[in-house]
Structure 1
Amino acid sequence: MEEKRNCYKFSCKVCGSEFSGRSSLKNHMRVHTGEKPYCCKVCGKSFSQSNVLKSHLSVHTGEKPYTCEYCGTAFSQSASLKTHVRIHTGEKPYCCKLCGTAFTHSSSLTQHTRVHMQEKPYSCDYCGTAFSQNDHLSRHMRTHTGEKPYSCEVCSATFFDSSSFKRHTLIHTGEKPYTCTVCGNVFSLHNNLKSHMRIHTGEKPYACKVCGHAFPRSSALKSHMLIHTGEKPYACKVCGKSFSQRTSLKLHTRTHTGEKPYSCKICSTGFSQNSNLKSHMRKIHTNKQVCSATFLESSTVKQHMLIQTGQTPYSCKVCGSSFLDNSSFKRHMLIHTGEKPYVCRVCRNVFSLHNNLKSHMRIHTGEKPYDCKVCGNAFPRSSALKSHMRIHTGEKPYDCKYCDKSFSQRTSLKFHMRTHTGEKPYSCEICGTGFSQNSNLKSHMQTVHKTKQQS
C-alpha cells in the first residue's frame, strides 16, 4: 500500500489531486485554467485533451467503429458504447451517498445530488428563476422567447422540448408498447402506464400539504394547489379572462373561435365540449330518432328542432354561455347587469326574473303545483319536478370532466367534483376543520363538539 502511494509524486496545488506523471498533472491543470490547446480544423471547436479531439473528429468523418454486441448499434466513441451497454446489462455504477439511488450516467448522479443540496446553479436572465439542470433552463427560456425548435413532419405541430415532441409522434404512429397486466389497456408512454396502475392499486403518492388531499398523479396535485394559492396562470389572449386550469382556458377559447371539435356521428351536430356531445347523444339519439311532435306555429317547430339538434344561436359575449331563444338570452344578461326589479312583498327579497319571484312566493303560500305522475310527490317548481323525475328514468345528464362518472343532479356533480379538487368550503368555527359538504360539517358539530341541531 505504501509502495502504491509513493508512485503518486506530482500533486495539484489547486485541488490536491495526485498524479504519477508530470504529463498527467499538466493535462489535469487544464481543468482549472480552462486551456484548450487542441483545435478541430473542421469546425474550430477546441478541447483540453488530444484523445478527446481524436474522438470528436469521428463526428465529421461519420466513422462509428464501436458496435454494441447486444443490438448492433454503432458508436463513434468507445465511451458512448460503454454507456449504451448499460441499457442491456442494467448496470448502474454511480450511486448517491445520501439516498442510495443508482444511475447509469455520472451526469445523472450530479444532477440528482443537486436535489439533496437544493443547488440550482442555472438562472434565467429574464425572470431570475433558478434550475438544477442546464437543459431545464434551456427549456424554460423558450417560454420567454416563444421558440419551438421541434417540428412534426406529419402535421407541422411545434414543441418547446424533445420529450413533448416524442410523445406527440406516437399519435401518428399509433405505437402503444406498454400493456397493463391487470386489464390489458395499452399505453404509448411508460409513465402513462405507471399512472394507470394506480387505478388498480389505489395508490395516491402525491399529497397536498395544505389540506391533506392525495392524488395519483403529480399533475393533479399541481392543478389542485391552485385552489389554495388562488393563482390563475392561464389567461385568454382575446378577452384577458384568467383560469386556474389549462383545460378551462381551452374550453373558454372555443367561445371566441367557435370551434366545435366534437361531432355527432348520427346528425353531424358539432359541440365545443365532449360532455355536451355525450348529453346530446343521450337525449336525442338514445333508443330514439328525432321525435314526431307536431306544432301549430312554424316558429315553435324551429325552436323545438334547435332542442333536438343541440344548437344554441344566442351567445353571451361576456361569459360565452349560449341559449336557444332570445328571451332566455335576455334573462341571462341580468346576471351580468345585476338588475333585480322584482321584490317579494312578504320578506322583501329581490329577484332578476318575474318567474323567480313567482316560484319564491310558494315558500310563503306552501303551494306545490307540479305533481309527479309516477309516485305522486309534489314540488313548488317545475325544475324540481324535472330533477326528481330522473330518479324514475335513471337519466344522468351531468358528466364529470375528470372521470367517467355521471350524475342525475347538478348538485351531486358539484359535490363529486370536490373529490378531485379537494375543495372544502364548509369550515368548523370551533376547530377549523374543513368539509366538502355542509351535512358533514353539521354531523361533525354534533359528534365532536356536542352541539344540538337547530330545529
Structure 2
Amino acid sequence: MSTFKPNTKLDTEEKFYSCDMCASSFKSKQCLAIHMPTHIKEKQYSCEVCGSTFIKKDKLVIHMRTHTGEKPCFCEICGSSFIKKDKLVIHMRTHTEEKPYFCEICGSSFIKKDKLVIHVRTHTGEKPYSCEICGSSFTQKHHLLQHVLIHTGEKPYTCTICSSAFARKQHMLQHMRTHTGEKPYSCEACGSTFTLKQHMSQHMRIHTGEKPYSCEVCGSSFTRKPNLVIHMRGHTGEKPYSCEICGSSFKKKDKLVNHMRIHTGERPYSCEICGSAFAQKQHMLQHMQIHTGEKPYSCEICGFSFIKKDKLVNHMRIHTGEKPYSCEICDSAFAQKQHMFQHMRIHTGEKPYSCEICGSSFTRKPDLVIHIRTHTGEKPYSCEVCGSAFARKQNMLQHMRIHTGEKPHSCEVCGASFTKKHSLVIHIRTHTGEKPYSCEVCCSAFARKQNMLQHMRIHTGEKPHSCEVCGTSFARKHSLVIHMRTHTYMGQSK
C-alpha cells in the first residue's frame, strides 16, 4: 500500500501528499485516498442489474439511473432533466449562449469540448477512425459505426408500424413522421412546416435570399449544396448516372430513373379521369389540365394562356422579337431551340424521319406524318361549309377563304390581294420581272415552276393528259380542256 509522504519541494506552508505509483500530489490525505483506487484493478462496486463494476460508489449511483430512469438534475428554465450534473451544466449553456471552448485557428466557439476536438480535425485533416474492411476514414467514431453497417447490411432500427428497417436511428425517426404526419419544424416567416430541420433551414433561404453555395467557375450561387454539385457537372461534363441497357448517361439521378422507363415501359402516374398513364409525374399533371381546362400561364400583352410555362416563354418571343438560338453556319436565328435543330439539317443533309412504305425521308416528323397520308388517303381536316377534306390543316384553312372571301396577302405595289401567300410571291414577280426557274435545255426562264415543267415537255415529247373519248394526248391540261369542247360541240350538232 502506498504511504503518505509530504512533498517538501512544494509549498512548505501546506502539506502535500504524493502517490508512490504515479507521483501525483494532493493537498489532503482525503484527496489521495480517493485517487488511489484508480491504481487498484479491483472494482468494488457492482451493478446488480447488468453486472457493470465501478471503482467509486458515486459512479455506481449515477449508473443505476440508466436503469431506473431517474433524472434528478433539473433545468429551472425549460424543465429538462438529466442523469448527471455535468450534463445539466452543458445544457445550461444553450440558455446562456456560453461557448467556452474556442478554436485557435478560426475562432469558432463551442458549448462542449468534444465538439471543439471534432471541429479542429476540419483544419488538421485528421480522421482517426478507419474502416477495417474498405479503409475509409472518419473524423467521428459514430460516423465509422454508421459506415460499417453498409458492409454488414445491418439495419437495427425498425419502424413499428410498417416494419421498414433503417441503419440509422435518425432515419427511422424521420420515417415515422410519414405515418404520424408530424412536421415539427415551422417557418417563422410564412408558417410552412417541415418534417426535417434541414428542409426548414433550406426553405428559410427563400425569405432571406441567402445562397451560400457558389460556383468557382462562373460565380452562380445556390441555396442548396446538391444544386451546386449538379451545376458543376455542366462545367466538367461529368454524367455519373449511366443506363446499363443503352449506355446513356445523365447528370442527375432522377433523369436516369425517368429514362429507364423507356426500356421498362413503366408508367407509374395515372390520370384518375380517363386512365391515361405517364412515365413522369409532370406530364400527368399537365395532362390533367386538359380535363380541368386550366391554363395557369397567361401572356400579359395579348391575354393568351397556356398549360405549360415553357409555351408561354416561347409565345412571349412573338412580342419581343427575341430569337436566342442562332445557326453557327449561316447565322439564321430562331425563337425556339427545336426550330434551330431542324434548320441545321439543311446544312447537314440529315433526314432522320423515313417512310416505311416508300422510303422517302424528311427532316421534320410533321412532314413525315403528312406524307404518310398520301399512302393511306387520310384527310383528317374537313371544311364545315362544303365538307371538302384535306390532308393538311393549312390547306383546309386556305380553302375556307373561298367561302369567307378573305384575301389576307396583299401586294404592296398594286394592292392586289390573294388567299395564299404563295400566290402573292408569284404575283410579285410580274413587277420585279424575276424568273427563277430555267430550262436546262434551251435556257428559257419562267416565273412559276409549273410553267417550266410544262415547257420541258416540248423537249421530252411527254403528253401526260389524254382524251378519254378519242385518245388524243396533250402536253398541257389546258389544251385537253379546249380539245374536249370539240366532242361536246359535235355532240350538240348531232
Q: TM-score range by the shorter chain?
A: 0.5 to 0.7
Q: Residue 63 of structure 1 aligns with which residue?
A: 182
1:189 pairs with one of 269, 292, 308: 308
2:322–2:335 CA contact under 8 A, matched in 1: yes
Q: Residue 227 of structure 2 aligns with which residue?
A: 108
Q: Does 1:50 align with 2:169?
A: yes
Name the CA shift for 1:73/1:245 in 2 (closer, same or farther; >3 Å).
Answer: farther
Q: Residue 224 of structure 1 aligns with which residue?
A: 343
**Structure 1 CA distance for aligned equivalents of residues 274 and 357 of structure 2:** 25
Q: Residue 16 of structure 2 aligns with which residue?
A: none
2:362–2:368 CA contact under 8 A, matched in 1: yes
2:241–2:252 CA contact under 8 A, matched in 1: yes
**Structure 1 CA distance for aligned equivalents of residues 355 and 186 of structure 2:** 52
2:463–2:476 CA contact under 8 A, matched in 1: no
2:158 pairs with one of 40, 43, 50: 40
**Structure 2 CA distance for aligned equivalents of residues 82 and 238 of structure 1:** 60
1:207 pairs with one of 323, 326, 330: 326
**Structure 2 CA distance for aligned equivalents of residues 86 and 103 of structure 1:** 10
Q: Residue 161 of structure 1 aligns with which residue?
A: 280
User: Equivalent residues in 2 for 1:295-374 (5 A)?
Assistant: 344=458, 348-351=459-462, 353-354=464-465, 358-359=475-476
Segment drifting more, 174-183 vs 122-131: 174-183
Higher relative contact order (CA 8 A, sep 6+): 1
Q: Residue 293 of structure 2 aligns with which residue?
A: 174
1:343–1:357 CA contact under 8 A, matched in 2: no
Q: Secondary structure at the match of 1:127?
A: coil
> Structure 2, unaligned stretches of length 5 or more?
1-102, 109-115, 407-455, 467-472, 483-494
RMSD: 4.1
2:233–2:251 CA contact under 8 A, matched in 1: yes
**Structure 2 CA distance for aligned equivalents of residues 352 and 48 of structure 1:** 86
Q: Does 1:2 align with 2:2?
A: no
Aligned residues: 305
Name the CA shift for 1:177/1:227 in 2 (closer, same or farther; >3 Å).
Answer: same
1:160 shift after superposition? 3.0
Q: Secondary structure at the match of 1:97?
A: coil
Q: In structure 1, give the amino acid aligned to 2:310.
A: N
- Output one character per residue of 1:361-386: Cα deviation in whole Å (capped at 9) or x when no partner: xxxxxxxx99xxxxxxxxxx99xxxx
TM-score by length of 2: 0.51
1:150–1:160 CA contact under 8 A, matched in 2: yes
Q: In structure 1, give the amino acid aligned to 2:155.
A: P
1:36–1:46 CA contact under 8 A, matched in 2: no
Q: Percent identity?
A: 41
2:355–2:372 CA contact under 8 A, matched in 1: yes
1:147–1:160 CA contact under 8 A, matched in 2: yes
Name the CA shift for 1:66/1:260 in 2 (closer, same or farther; >3 Å).
Answer: farther
User: Equivalent residues in 2 for 1:71-90 (5 A)?
Assistant: 73-87=192-206, 90=209
Name the CA shift for 1:213/1:32 in 2 (closer, same or farther; >3 Å).
Answer: farther
> Structure 1, unaligned stretches of length 5 or more?
288-341, 361-368, 371-380, 383-455
1:180 shift after superposition? 2.8
**Structure 2 CA distance for aligned equivalents of residues 146 and 35 of structure 1:** 31
**Structure 2 CA distance for aligned equivalents of residues 238 and 60 of structure 1:** 57
Q: In structure 2, give the amino acid aligned to 1:2.
A: E
Q: In structure 1, give the amino acid aligned to 2:398.
A: S
1:54 shift after superposition? 0.9
Q: Secondary structure at the match of 2:475?
A: helix
Q: Does 1:152 align with 2:271?
A: yes
1:40–1:57 CA contact under 8 A, matched in 2: no
**Structure 2 CA distance for aligned equivalents of residues 280 and 202 of structure 1:** 30
**Structure 1 CA distance for aligned equivalents of residues 354 and 196 of structure 2:** 48
1:93–1:103 CA contact under 8 A, matched in 2: yes
User: Equivalent residues in 2 for 1:216-295 (5 A)?
Assistant: 216-234=335-353, 242-254=361-373, 260-267=379-386, 269-286=388-405
Q: In structure 1, give the amino acid aligned to 2:316.
A: M
Q: Residue 301 of structure 1 aligns with which residue?
A: none
